[in-house]
Structure 1
Amino acid sequence: MAYAMNQPVAPGEPAPDFALPAVAGPETVSLDDYRGRSPLFLALLVGLWCPFCRRQLVQLGALEQKLKAVGVETLAVVATEPENARLYFKFRPTRLRLASDPELSIHRAFRVPKPESTPEMLQQLEQTRVNPFGDLPEPLPVPEAAKVIGALDGYVCTPTDMGEVDRQWPQLKAQFMIDRDGIVRWAEIECEKEGLPGIGKLPSDEVILGAARACAA
């Protein structure tokens, strides 16, 4: 897979400052909200058009209290307008603190790779079978798995979604653990370890909690 961006922000580097609109209200969410107060688990997702992101948001919501118990706060960034996110989460409430970044500015700041969309990559996606959440009867080609998961979840794409697909795809997703001083202590980039078979997967709860405990120590 060819990446069109530099290497992501790595452990030991300062986390880039950010200030993004909150989904829950009119305030802004920034790295300064956590600096000096709490480590932060930062999850960077794409738009709600992405079935893997929608599933990951559910997983992160279930993990949030476990992270808080070890002293780490959680922030998920969704790449859609605040109003669109508010409508979605009105019907699918979450405990997560959420920020909106439809233009993927935070992905660029953290240098999260965006592969180049080529005929070769599209062919690889058709040939790569995935079952990232373990609930499909068998692994399916990536595009088919996305469609089936969307249908299972009863999600219908909107014109807003389609516009975001055009702007965002195939941006990768990422998670970072940032300490109280604003230094990245752990990072996980989608597909970095497994290649295309890693699409849609979050690290296990055990891996994330282990990184959280080390960051909060």
Structure 2
Amino acid sequence: MAEPRARPLQPGEPAPDFMLASANRDVPISLASLSGRPFLIGLFRGLHCPFCRRQLRQFSAVEPALRAVGVETLAVVNTPVERARLYFRYQPTPVTLLSDPECRTHRDFGVPHGVFLSPESDEPPQWPYRARLADFEAARINPTGELPQAVQPMQANDLLNAKDGFEPDETDSRIYAEHGTQLVGHFLIDAAGIVQWSETEARFGPEEIGIFPTTREIMLAAGKVAG
């Protein structure tokens, strides 16, 4: 297994090779199959994450504008492909939806996956890679403004899932247990396979969890590679 990158990929660096099963296309999608075409790729947590589901809806809304300027839109979810297919049967999207239940693509792009230090550890925290659980639990978020007040990140996750009527199944719960501290990344890749823009979630602290690029920011970035 490849070691995770020490940092997210930056503009000017080549995108890593990947091949992933698609939940809404007939064939797997790879970096090679996208050669010669610029694309935006969002690397998300699993469908258990209400913030990611909301960003996927935003991706669906912006996809026609991106397509109009020659940019394809891809979303990678940390959910097995069968589960993703079931969900998107009822929530269809024009975005090319890819499945990576082990977060290998997230790791190859360098999107951080945090770990919590043990209470006895003398190791200093280094967000977003190492954090004290107490610091994480002290954070308060309400990134979509849907909650009456800002709450602890995991509580926000549960409240929004309840609001959506989303009931995690056994698969969702397993993914959440294994990859719950995976952060989200957005990368714009040009026709030559080079990163031209990148944004990662919560760069400065857990208070920024669930804050993703806006449609305006995405479209401004797309201007860098628009045909």
Length-normalised TM-score, structure 1: 0.92
Residue in structure 2 matched with residue 89 of structure 1 by the alignment: 88
Verify: 1:200 aligned to 2:199, yes or no: no
Distance in 2, matches of 1:113 and 1:5, equals: 8
Q: 2:178 aligns with which of 150, 155, 167?
A: 167
Which residue identity does 1:156 align to in structure 2?
E
Match of 2:97 in 1: 98
Tell whether the 8 Å contact from 2:5 to 2:108 is kept in structure 1 after alignment: no
Q: What residue is the counterpart of 2:222 in the other structure?
A: 212
> What is the alpha-carbon distance in structure 1 between the residues aligned to residue 109 and residue 141 of structure 2?
26
**In the TM superposition, what whole-angstrom CA distance separates every residue of 1:97-150 from its partner, at most 9, and x where no partner exists?**
101110111011111111112356322232211111122222222122111111
Specify the alignment match of 1:130 in structure 2.
Answer: 141
Q: Distance in 1 between matches of 2:54 and 2:214?
A: 14
2:19 aligns with 19
How far does residue 80 in structure 1 lie from its aligned partner after superposition? Answer: 1.2
* Distance across 1 between alignment mates of 2:90 and 2:116: 33
Aligned residues: 212
* Runs ≥4 residues deviating over 6 A: none
**Residue 184 (structure 1) aligned to one of 172, 195, 199:** 195
Q: 2-side partners of 1:134 and 1:121: how far apart? A: 26
2:154 to 109, 125, 143: 143
The 1:17–1:7 alpha-carbon spacing in structure 2 relative to 1, beyond 3 Å, is same
Query: In structure 1, what is the equivalent of residue 46 of structure 2?
Result: 47
RMSD, aligned CA: 1.6
Find the residue that maps to 1:176 and give its secondary structure: strand
The residue identity in structure 2 corresponding to 1:54 is: R
Say if 1:125 and 1:143, in contact at 8 Å, map to a contact too.
Answer: no
CA contact (8 A) 1:40 1:177 kept: yes
What is the aligned partner in structure 1 of residue 64 from structure 2?
A: 65
For residue 20 of structure 2, give the secondary structure of its aligned residue in structure 1: strand
2:156 paired with 1:157: no
Aligned-partner Cα distance in 2 for 1:70–1:25 = 22
What secondary structure is seen at the aligned counterpart in 1 of 2:116?
coil
Contact 1:42 1:175 in 2 (8 A): yes
Q: What's the CA shift for 1:200?
A: 1.0
State the alpha-carbon separation in 2 of the partners of residues 51 and 196 from structure 1.
Answer: 16
Stretches of structure 2 that go unaligned for 5 or more consecutive residues are 120-130
Per the TM alignment, residue 25 of structure 1 is displaced from its structure 2 partner at its CA by 4.2
CA deviation profile, 1:45-81 (whole Å, cap 9, x unmatched): 1211112111211111111112112221100001111
Amino acid at match of 1:28: P
Q: Secondary structure at the match of 1:214?
A: coil
Unaligned stretches of 5+ residues in structure 1: none
Shift of 1:215: 2.0
Identity %: 43
Question: Structure 1 residues 121, 67: closer, same or farther in 2, change over 3 A?
Answer: farther
Distance 1:33 1:139 in 2: 42
What's the TM-score once normalised by structure 2's chain length?
A: 0.88
